[in-house]
Amino acid sequence: MVKFDIILASASPRRKTILSQVGLDFTIEPSRINEDFSIDLLPKAFCEYWAREKANDIAKSHSDKLIIGADTIVIIDDKIIGKPKNYKESFAMLKSLSGKTHQVLTGVSFIHLDFEIDFTFNEATDVSFCLLTDEEINKYIDKYRPYD
């Protein structure tokens, strides 16, 4: 049985928690890739592209390790919604999701250069929000600071 050293190419606390919950032993080295939301790709291809770019960025300097890259996007009304950068953008995003169902897509990429592993896929989840009041949105933003 081959045992891989694993690097998570992300600083996301949620990704760290998920990998820890399934019992993986890994280190974290965030990718230096900055996503460009202007590239013209369909949503599934978009999240897979950026997941692979992030994994590949780290794999270049760790060819002997398994690199896991991931990218998550939100789709509403057939448009990719970027990550909110501040309170105002967070409020607008949550207000647009209120009372609707949207899709969350996550691309995941596994790269191990020495073993010639290069596998990328995506998973989609439908998420439904109840109608949110402005007060509920403000309390959520104050508590969780959803700026990522």
Give catalytic residue positions. 71
User: In 3D, which of 85, 49, 84 has the Cα closest to residue 70?
Assistant: 49
d(CA 88, CA 86): 6
Distances (CA, A) of 94 to 71, 85, 126: 20, 13, 15
Cα of 131 vs its chain's centroid, Å: 25
What is the identity of the amino acid at 46?
F
